[in-house]
Structure formats: structure tokens, C-alpha cells
Amino acid sequence: MKKRVEQLWQRWGDTVRFFLWGLTVALVCFLLYRVIVNNHAQHLVPLSEGGRDSLMTVGIPRGMSDTLVRRDAFDVYFNSARGIANCAVYELVTNELNGTAERMGEFMPDPDVKGCPSPQDYAGSGMDRGHLVPAGDLKWSETAMRQSFLMTNICPMHKALNEGGWAKLEEKVREWTARDSALLVFTGPVVSESDTTLANSQVTVPRAYYKIIMAPCVRPMRAIAFIYPNGHSGGRLSQYAVSVDEVEHKTGLDFFPTLPREEQERLESTVNLDAWLN
């Protein structure tokens, strides 16, 4: 009888221990889930239309040829002296990632911009007509898709860049948008006095291109920049990651000029690629 009782107590103790162990595991998993979800939610805040427009402003230095062209989905700061933009900027939000508009559009001069090049200026040059604001980010609107083929949004790109590292970076932007709710993207050429022009026109062929990506809805806000040579672009993202300050130094442009000076310096002076990849 005594042995029977001891066996029952042992079985009961094993059951209790197993139950407590399972309860502990479930509680730990629940707490981890709450921490992850709450941290994510706490770091995402809505972006007002006015706040977005303010952050998308680009400071253009005096003496740099510039015409601001506003389209449905993006803005272009066009440089008529070079025949290419100084910068194109747009916002990409999560619900725009799954649009159904097919890639469509005919390259056309921008009727609103004096001195805009013609698609024929690129003929026989060996250069792609490279989108600054990618058509792949405008599937949510057929109008925006067509506007992306206006020549104010086009620059001479080597095929190795356009179909290589640049395309991979554009895909990363979409991945980061899905995670961070909304991104602001600034793209343009890095030019120098030694740059050549297309054979059939005076359109400048840049030596490199930059892309600046800002996550305005996360707290603290973060930004990262990349500079890709206009040619072969293999390798990891880390090879091309730079500070926003470096892009400003090489282009003369001023990004995020409406932010307080301390916030500008924090966003623009560092290169924290891990914050984007993790």
C-alpha cells in the first residue's frame, strides 16, 4: 500500500512538474512576442502630409540649374544644363507595394520642362534609359507609371548598373518599406567636370549615382545612403553604403534641410547599415 501511494505521488509530481514546465515555456514565448510586437509598434508613428512634404524638400545651391517638376507620385529637380535631374524624390508606403498596373509607358520628353531631352538622344549610345524613380514602385497607379517614363525621370545608365546592383538596391527598398511602413527615397547622379555626354546630345553621362533612403515613421528616424559607380556593380550593399553627408559633399545638394540641425547631423553623419539589414 505504501509503495502504491509513493508511486501515485511520484506520478502526480511528474505531472505537476511537466505542467509547470510547459506553462513557463508558454509564458516566456508570450512575453517575447509582446516585447517584439510592442517594440515594433512603439517605433512606428504616422507621417502627416505636411511632415512628408517638408522632409522631401531638397536644398539646391545657387547657380545650379534647376526646375522643380511635380508629378502625381514623385518630384524631380531637373537640371536643364545637364539634361538630367539633380534629384528625384518620392514616398513609398506599404499599401503601394502590391499594385496591379503593368509596366507600361513610352519614353517621352516632358512637355512641362524646357530643354528636356528626347528619347532619341540616347539612340546608339550604348546607355540604358535608366529610371530614377523606378517604374516597379509605381504599380499602384497607371498614371504614375506613365509619368515615370517622362525623360525628366531618366538618366544614362550602363546596363551593368541598371540591371545589376541598382536593381537589387531597388528591391531592398521595397523590402524595407514593407517592414518600416513608409520610406522617402532620393535618387540622382553624381557628376564631375570630366563626365562625358551622349554622342547625339549634350546629356551628361554621370560617373555614379546616389540613393538616399529615409525611414520617417520609425523612432528614432534613420537614413542611409549609397553611391554606385555607373558601370559594374557587383558585391554586397556594404561596398556602396555611405553617409548622407558624403552624398551632399559630392553633389552640393542639401537633404532634410527643414530638420533641426542636431537631428540633421545625427541622420547624415553616420553609416549604420546593420540597422537596415536587421
Active site residues: 131
DSSP code per residue over 74-134: EEEEEETTTTEEEEEEEEEEGGGTT----S----B--TTSTTPPPGGGGTTSS-EEEESS-
In one-letter notation, the amino acid at residue 41 is A
DSSP code per residue over 121-170: GGTTSS-EEEESS-GGG-TT-HHHHHHTTBGGGEEEE-HHHHTTHHHHHH
- Distance, in Å, from the CA atom of 77 to the CA atom of 50, rounded to the nearest integer, reads 19
For residue 12, what is its C-alpha cell? 502526480
Give bridge partners of residue 188 from the DSSP assignment: 210
DSSP code per residue over 236-249: -GGGTEE-HHHHHH
Q: To which residue does cell 533641426 refer?
A: 260
Helices vs strands, H then E, count in the chain: 8, 13
Tally of residues, the chain = 278
Work out the end-to-end distance of the chain between its first and last CA atoms, rounded to an integer number of angstroms. Answer: 61
Dihedral sign for Cα 68, 56, 84, 126, please: negative
Dihedral sign for Cα 33, 274, 172, 96, please: positive
Q: CB atoms < 10 A from the CB of 39, how many?
A: 10
